Amino acid sequence: MERFEKNIQEKLRDFQVQPPEEIWGAIENRLVQNQGKKFLWLRIAAAILLLVISITSLVLYLPSGRIAEPVAEIYVPENEQVPADSEPLTAEPGADILAEKDKTETLAATTRETYPAETLITDIDVLSDYYSIPDLLAMMPKGYENQLASQSAPDHGYAGFSLRIEESPDVTYEIATEFLAMDLKAPDSRQRGFALAAYLAPQQSFRYQRNTAPFPYEALESEIYSFAAGLKFHYNINSRWEVESGIGYNLIGQAVNGIAAFSHPSMIPLYSSKGELISSHPQSMSTSMGGINFKDQSFYFADISSSRIFALKGSYDESNVNLLNKTASGLIQHFGYIEVPIVFSYKIIDRMFSMSVKSGIAANFLYTNNVYLQGSAYTRSIGESAGISPLSWSGTGGLSFSYPVSDRVNVALEPTFTMFLTPMGQFRTLTRETYPYNYSLFMGIKYKL
């Protein structure tokens, strides 16, 4: 190598130039995006698995809608005399049935009657009023061996007691009761069980920022109108309580105002009067919902209200930028989340119309992330927001009005408020503590399975 080359090599080999500060912000944005994309499908798969496990658990472990053979039995040997005027037990509550009867007569009944538990027992207190152990003991004729046993079998979900009166080795009276320990009242079989619902909700979406870290350009951002849609499984725990879960798509975001876009043919740099490049791609900007990376090089973006846009060199200068044609102004940030909720509702009015209050939480998996440029006649995707957490948690609450259009089909209207419980951004430095929220009007059809 000749001396000239060697001299230049020595001069430049370790020469350093400090890059502009904006470059690190742009690199950080790219890294965050790459990281989010890397695990997105894994997270969606985990959410679906969680949903399948939840539904399977509900089906397998919640009590079924029917009581398996709960009976109250009164029986005595057939060889005993049967009073002619013995009345069969009716299906009304135990107090009404038995208060008018002579208890001894009842015990002496010679027919074996079996009634579903719910027809005899509406409440354990009623039962104890008429079959309390002291009463029954007092009824027993002297000289007879009495045996009173309490029985319970909580592992089967049933409890009850029985009374056996052994008059002789051949004659035994026995009263045995059994009832569902978990729910003394008979469930309404029409209300219990699963339902499948499809819903669509127009909604207004914006965000809340914690006072400790307000975004300086708060006034330059505003709400948008979007939608949510999805499928849900409902399960009626009883006539009042209901639990629901499912999978939905929830589109939220905000409008970013005061951003102008100029048509800027790709790869043609824009120079100042001194011949310096005043801007170049990729441009990026900061918002309360993450940093925007502009990918469409056919536009040059300028902030006409503040200085939110990071241009690699120079800032907005009307004298230069006006050489280009202004095409549109205003950006829309859209975030599409796959939502897996679990919501409980309690029916407070149960007539022809029913009204419930509902509340729950949801896991939100970031699925789509777009920034649109809004022109007077078109909307065009020009990039995406960086620094958004791939998983966020939200809380929801609202009212549900339901009307049955047939035995199985209900239509429902649900004004609902939903808000993120965790900040939507991954890094406080990029997105601060921003909590999106939306007011939604869910409209759905529910089909009872």
Which distant-in-sequence residues (6+ apart) come within 8 Å of 433 by Cβ? 209, 210, 212, 213, 423, 425
Is residue 163 involved in binding other proteins (CB under 8 A)?
no
Is residue 4 involved in binding other proteins (CB under 8 A)?
yes
For residue 213, the surrounding DSSP H or E stretch is none
Question: Which of 113, 163, 220, 269 touches other proteins (CB under 8 A)?
Answer: 269
Give whichever of 31 and 219 is closer to other proteins, judged by the CB atom: 31
| Cβ atoms 339, 327 nearer than 8 A | no
Give whichever of 9 and 263 is closer to other proteins, judged by the CB atom: 9
Stretch that binds other proteins, among 16-24, 112-120, 133-141, 254-262 (CB under 8 A): 16-24
| Cβ atoms 228, 440 nearer than 8 A | yes
Distance in Å, CB of 11 to other proteins, minimum: 5
Is residue 240 involved in binding other proteins (CB under 8 A)?
no
CB environment 163-196: b (16+ within 10 A), e (fewer): bebebeeeeebbbbbbbbbeebeebeeebbeebe
**If binding means CB under 8 A, how many residues of this protein chain bind other proteins?**
33
Question: Which of 157, 285, 313, 367 touches other proteins (CB under 8 A)?
Answer: 313
User: How far apart (Å, rounded) are the C-alpha atoms in residues 142 and 140?
Assistant: 6
Give whichever of 8 and 82 is closer to other proteins, judged by the CB atom: 8
Per-residue tokens: 134: 């002291």
For residue 165, the surrounding DSSP H or E stretch is strand 158-168
Give whichever of 27 and 411 is closer to other proteins, judged by the CB atom: 27
Contact mark string toward other proteins, 270..309, x via CB under 8 A: -------x--xxx---------------------------
Distance in Å, CB of 380 to other proteins, minimum: 23
User: How far apart (Å, rounded) are the C-alpha atoms in residues 369 and 366?
Assistant: 8
User: How far apart (Å, rounded) are the C-alpha atoms in residues 426 and 388?
Assistant: 5
SS3 of the chain: helix, strand, coil, percent, to 5: 20, 45, 30
For residue 251, the surrounding DSSP H or E stretch is strand 241-263
Is residue 11 involved in binding other proteins (CB under 8 A)?
yes
Distance in Å, CB of 429 to other proteins, minimum: 11
Give me the DSSP letters along 271-331: E-TTS-EEE-SSPEEEETTEEEEE--TTEEEEESSS--EE-SS----HHHHTTSPEEEEEE
Give whichever of 251 and 309 is closer to other proteins, judged by the CB atom: 309
Is residue 23 involved in binding other proteins (CB under 8 A)?
yes
Distance in Å, CB of 389 to other proteins, minimum: 18
Stretch that binds other proteins, among 5-13, 186-194, 231-239, 406-414 (CB under 8 A): 5-13
Is residue 142 involved in binding other proteins (CB under 8 A)?
no
Question: Which of 140, 312, 421, 444 touches other proteins (CB under 8 A)?
Answer: 312
Closest among 431, 414, 415 to 423, alpha carbons compared: 431
Contact mark string toward other proteins, 199..228, x via CB under 8 A: ------------------------------
Give me the DSSP letters along 89-151: P-SS-HHHHHTTS-HHHHHT--S-EEEEHHHH-S-HHHHHHHH-HHHHHHHSPTTSEEEEEEE
User: How far apart (Å, rounded) are the C-alpha atoms in residues 406 and 304?
Assistant: 57
E runs forming strands in 351-422: 354-374, 379-386, 391-404, 409-420
Show contacts with other proteins in window 58-77 (CB under 8 A): none
Question: Which of 9, 189, 359, 381 touches other proteins (CB under 8 A)?
Answer: 9
Question: Which of 7, 147, 152, 422 touches other proteins (CB under 8 A)?
Answer: 7
Is residue 265 involved in binding other proteins (CB under 8 A)?
no
Distance in Å, CB of 269 to other proteins, minimum: 6
Contact mark string toward other proteins, 27..46, x via CB under 8 A: xx-xx--x------------
Distance in Å, CB of 336 to other proteins, minimum: 25
The contact set with other proteins (CB under 8 A) reads 1-5, 7-9, 11-20, 23-24, 26-28, 30-31, 34, 269, 277, 280-282, 312-313
